[in-house]
Structure 1
Amino acid sequence: MTELPDWMRPPREEGWFADDLDRLTEAPRHTELIDGALVFMMSPQRWWHGELVDLLKNALKQQAPQGLRVGREMTIRLDTRNRPEPDVLVVTAPYDRDRTWFAPEEVQLVVEVVSPESAHRDRTVKLHKYAEAGIAHYWCVEDEDGVPAVHVYELDRPTGAYAPAGIFRHALHRTVPFEITLDLDQITP
């Protein structure tokens, strides 16, 4: 095995901290921090995944009320040791071209489009971490033979955990975090 480059070595015994990501200029694009460990998106992205992310982002952007912004692939600083990067997110934060992350209280909705290499993180790890951080709405989009199935979760504030709010195929209509109507057949790549 070849030796790791210096930038891949954690700067301290406890691992990486959220603020370290901004100083890791050598790290690959789409590097996340989960429990103090760097997670690289090294697998080639499937065309289906990228197209669906774009289509979801654009559809949500068209429907988002004033004061909400829709973006893609920006990290959320959940705490000092976690900075995951969802595929799509809806935030209340004003635009700042130099911004590299959002705080959980600025995030209204997180969308993860599941790919084979991210399936465990998207379905379990991120599901729990986003809920613990208090993000009210989480969508996990699965590929069912080329057709998206959107698993929708809402935060149950008393328990601090997500409760399933439905699995949507072909069409999705939600009134929270804002009025959203998606024809999933139309946004299928």
Structure 2
Amino acid sequence: MTAVPEWMRPPRPEGWYADDLDRLAEAPRHTELIDGALVFMISPQRVWHARMITALVNSLTDQAPPGIEVDREITIRLDKWNRPEPDLLVTTAPYDPHRTCYTPEETLLVVEVVSPESAHRDETVKLRKYAEAGIANYWRVEDEDGSPVVHTYELDAPTRSYVPTAIHRHELRASRPFPIKLDLDGLVPGRRG
């Protein structure tokens, strides 16, 4: 058995804080913080997942009004103990090349493209945490025989929980966080008519 590297040991008995992620140069790319624990994305990424994120970023960027930014794989500092990294997020924050995270108040939409190893976190843990933090919209994208299916949710502010609004196949039309129209079948090369 190999010893745990020193940098992986929490700096305090109660675990890691969200700000600690910026000081962990040794941590693998895409390291998240969930309830004070580091979560590593160490499985190889599937091409479908990578292309879906790229296609969504490009499509949403093309449709976003002025003052709205679309980014991929940047963490959100939800609170002292949680800093998840969604696959894609839409924010009101101006471009800053040195930024390492966003806040829930700046975040209009979070999108998670589900992988086998992330399914539980995307369907339950992150869904709850993003809602509790007050992020208005959440999309979960799943692979259904090579085609994307998008589950959309909207925040019910009084309960701080998400309400499902639709399950989209083939096409997505949404009015929040801005008017969006997506040809879902056209997002993945090789699946076009």
Q: Name the TM tier (shorter chain).
A: over 0.9
Which residue of 1 is the match for residue 136 of structure 2? 136
Please list the CA deviations of residues 64-84 of structure 1 after superposition, one character each: whole Å capped at 9, or x if unmatched. Answer: 000000000000000000000
Q: How many Å apart are 1:159 and its aligned residue? A: 1.1
Structure 2: which 5+ runs fail to align? none
1:80-99 equivalence runs, <5 A: 80-99=80-99
Structure 1 CA distance for aligned equivalents of residues 52 and 67 of structure 2: 24
Aligned with 1:50: secondary structure? helix
Structure 2 residue aligned with 1:152: 152
Task: Compute the RMSD of aligned alpha carbons.
Answer: 0.5
d(CA) in 1 for partners of 2:21 and 2:176?
32
In 1, Cα distance between equivalents of 2:172 and 2:84:
25
Structure 1 match to 2:101: 101
Query: In structure 2, what is the equivalent of residue 167 of structure 1?
Result: 167
For residues 159 and 7 of structure 2, what CA distance do their matches in structure 1 show? 39
Match of 1:57 in 2: 57
Identity rate, percent? 69
Give the residue type in structure 2 aligned to 1:117.
E
Q: Distance in 2 between matches of 1:159 and 1:99?
A: 31
Q: Which amino acid aligns with 2:66?
A: Q
Runs of 4+ in structure 1 deviating by more than 6 angstroms, as ranges, are none
Letter in 1 for 2:166: G
Instruction: Note the 1:4-153 alignment, pairs <5 A.
Output: 4-153=4-153
Q: What TM-score comes out, normalization by structure 1 length?
A: 0.99
Cα distance per residue 1:82-130 (max 9 Å; x no partner): 0000000000001111100000000000000000000000000000000
Query: Structure 2 length as normaliser, TM-score?
Result: 0.97
User: SS at the partner of 1:141?
Assistant: strand
Structure 1: any 5+ residue segments left out of the alignment? Answer: none
Show CA shifts across 1:5-47 (max 9, x none): 0000000000000000000000000000000000000000000
Q: What is the rounded CA distance, in whole Å, between the counterparts of 1:125 and 1:143 in structure 2?
A: 20
SS in 1 for 2:187: coil
Q: 1:158: Cα distance to partner?
A: 1.5
Residues of 1 paired with 2:107 and 2:69: CA distance?
A: 10
